[in-house]
Amino acid sequence: MEAKKTEQTWNPDRYERNAGFVADLGTPVFDLLAPVADEKILDLGCGHGKLTGKFADLGADVTGVDASPEQIAACHKLGLNARVLSGESLDYNGDFDAVFSNAALHWMQKADDVIAGVYRALKPGGRFVGEMGGGDNVKKVSDALLAALAQRRIDGNALWPWYFPTTDDYRG
């Protein structure tokens, strides 16, 4: 049976109810970036803006980007500067002191395009801090899902929206 990939849509309210803890778990990553007031920060895969707002509260000049129009609309309701843009198509050139990403990079399958875009977006000496699902953290679950689909003659790989790299995938 041929698998038909559908477009991903997000409901910001449902996301907050069911996965609001994800931003809370991102606090150590946020702290690792050590943002300061007036710093220009790109929040890559900003979602509904919970951490983007934290940057703004510190006085940073933050821009959020996310591929989901629904999530960006939620950011705008919070008064945040955010735009619909895929992390695989970043169009910035030396605009940011830092790029931050929490729990979003594993949704971007074209990792080389993402990393090249992050590099271009940073000012010389800029920094990038990101957190994502990777390697084996969901291997047993994903293998079981793919096996169940295969039993039904469905190509689960054609439907797979995630990228869970190993550390070796990012070296070099």
List, for residues 90-129, the tens digit of each pLDDT value. 999 999 999 999 988 877 889 899 999 999 999 999 999 9
Structural domains of the chain ordered from first start: 12-132 (3.40.50.150), 139-169 (no CATH)
Tokens 């559908």 belong to residue: 6
How far is the C-alpha of 88 from the C-alpha of 112, rounded, in Å?
8
| CB distance 44 to 65 below 8 Å | yes
Tokens 């000012």 belong to residue: 123
Residues sharing a CB contact under 8 Å with residue 151, sequence separation 6 or more, in sequence order:
none
Length of the chain counted residue by residue: 172
Does the global pTM surpass 0.95?
no
Per-position pLDDT tens, the chain of length 172 = 555 555 667 766 776 676 666 777 778 889 999 999 999 999 999 999 999 999 999 999 999 999 999 999 999 999 999 999 999 999 999 999 999 999 888 778 898 999 999 999 999 999 999 987 777 777 777 778 788 888 988 887 777 666 767 777 766 5
**Please, what is the average pLDDT of the chain?**
86
Q: What angle do CA 18, 101, 104 make, to 5 degrees?
A: 45
How far is the C-alpha of 65 from the C-alpha of 114, rounded, in Å?
12
- List, for residues 118-138, the tens digit of each pLDDT value: 999 999 999 999 987 777 777
Q: Strand runs (DSSP E) across the chain, as ranges?
A: 40-44, 61-66, 82-84, 96-102, 122-131
Nearest by Cα to 51 from 146, 129, 142? 129
42-77 burial by CB neighbour count: b if 16+ within 10 A, else e?
bbbbbbbbbbbbbbbeeebebbbbbbbebbbebbee
